[in-house]
Amino acid sequence: MVEPRAEHDFVVVGAGSAGSVIVRRLLDAGHSVHVLEAGPVDDDERVHSPQGWPLLLQSPLDWAAMTVPQKHANNRSLFWPRGKVLGGSSSLNGMIYIRGHRSDYDAWAYEGCTGWDWDSVLPLFKRSEDHVDGESAWHGKGGPLPVSRITEPHPTATAFVEAAIALGHERTDDFNGDDMVGVGFNHATVRDGRRMSAWQSFVVPVRDSPSLTVTTGARVHRVLLEDGRAVGVEYAAEGRLHRAHAAAEVVLSGGVIGSAQALLLSGIGPAAHLREVGVDIAVDLPGVGENLHDHLLVSNVYEASRPLPPGKANLLESQLFTSTDPRRPGPDLQPLFLHLVYPAESYPVPEHGYTIAPGIVRPLSRGTLRLASADPEAAPLLDPNVLAERYDLEALVDAVELCREIGGQRAFDAWRKAEVAPGPEARTRDDLREYVRRAVGTYHHQVGTCRMGQDNLAVVDPELRVHGVQGLRVADASIMPSVPSGNTNAPSIMIGEKASDLLLAAS
């Protein structure tokens, strides 16, 4: 039995980084909004502590997705944490605020996504911000999202910066400033020692609005279509099916997995695949679930010579942006430092240690998301096809070599006991290729399954409207044609700002 729900102007599916922004901006403009979130309220204290995120992985607040076995990574299935809570992955992530390189967005525009070039999106980034430094050419003041600096860095995070500088890398004071290339300390979505998720920043201040309905524990089963138009969604909650109706538009902000899965379950996707799993075809849209990709990383783990002191920030305090080729317009490597052991799969885990995480941010490999069945509660099949492209493997090996050089610098002498992964037995480049295949993991930056564009495999147009369906948009990291050169939370928040402008212009 389906229980009807009252109609709102907008239904937003997903209360994560983009969805939270959209909810706030629609409310501010006087619209009524019903937001549906599969997870619970964000009242777990581990969410709000900047040091709490490792404890959230594989917790009830984590979708804890697993990929299918990866052909080019020793047939291993990779663990993909994704937030299942108000705030989505912005309640689960490491709180690093990075926008990416201007060439990322200019490339989107060059490929036909007009209005998404760097000069067009920079004001949207700034509009969200309440940066500790105040208003500048690069930062905003007075927006809902607090962005702070790390003022008391961990001594090993400082050692990382000093070691990279000793190798000739430039020090940068702001990865979101004039030039993101270099080594330095991160800016973070933290204020007064508390995580500031998108939900806490954008929605909690207006949570009591009579125009807002929030339903948690809501698993969306399909978009409701009438005469080619989205009029609402059907969802399961508390053991029953419900319907939420939208007078204006439905917005999918369920993330790279959730939004594509919702489209496919609604019969919007590749016709052949939908037939295979027994879903009635509403719109043959072949690009849904294509273009799945992710930033990759491994762990260069060190055993420490003594216990490390506790940190005061987000455990992810410093990093380096650099390139495999200085002729590139932007960086393609992002080694990240953690003053904890982030284990490399199948390698020993020392009691006391730290990790330099070699990472690539311009991957070329692409994969797919597919339904396992027509059951809306079944997890989809995730195949990012990691390391399929030779460049990805070689660039990640380059990153490992760079991180080992950094880890061997004098700045770490006071802390370093021994390298645990890949370990001293890994001497040649072939050894490191095998290490990468054996231990490659994710930066948790999956994108692309509802790609924006104008070609036959695009899912949404540059105004985020789903091709072939009226009244339906997608707004989250799934619309990214290619992943930006950095952490994806800030770009997802920017997508929420852009989507809000598009929705309001059409209303």
β 7-13/2-3 pair status: unpaired
Q: Spell out the residues 6+ positions from residue 449 whose beta carbon is closer than 8 angstroms to its own.
A: 256, 257, 259, 260, 288, 289, 290, 291, 292, 369, 459, 478
Q: In angstroms, rounded to a whole number, what is the distance separating the alpha carbons of residues 403 and 397?
A: 10
Nearest to 407 by CA among 389, 393, 421: 421
Active site residue 445: yes
Q: In angstroms, rounded to a whole number, what is the distance separating the alpha carbons of residues 480 and 447?
A: 6
Take residue 478 and report the two structure tokens written for it: 């799934």
Q: In the structure, how many helices (H) and strands (E) does the chain have?
A: 12, 28
Are 292 and 98 in contact by the 8 Å Cβ rule? The answer is no
Q: In angstroms, rounded to a whole number, what is the distance separating the alpha carbons of residues 335 and 164?
A: 10
3-state secondary structure 205-216: HHCCCCCEEEEE
Q: In angstroms, rounded to a whole number, what is the distance separating the alpha carbons of residues 208 and 250?
A: 22
Q: In angstroms, rounded to a whole number, what is the distance separating the alpha carbons of residues 391 and 200?
A: 39
* Secondary structure element (H or E) that encloses residue 390, with its range: helix 390-407
SS3 135: coil
Q: In angstroms, rounded to a whole number, what is the distance separating the alpha carbons of residues 266 and 269?
A: 8
Beta-ladder partners of 360: 296, 333
Q: Spell out the residues 6+ positions from residue 240 whose beta carbon is closer than 8 angstroms to its own.
A: 1, 3
Choice among 169, 293, 445, 467 that is catalytic: 445
Q: In angstroms, rounded to a whole number, what is the distance separating the alpha carbons of residues 167 and 150?
A: 23
Are 102 and 118 in contact by the 8 Å Cβ rule? The answer is yes
* Secondary structure element (H or E) that encloses residue 505, with its range: helix 489-506
Q: In angstroms, rounded to a whole number, what is the distance separating the alpha carbons of residues 358 and 459?
A: 32
Strand order in the sheet with 296-297: 359-360, 296-297, 441-442
Catalytic residue set: 445
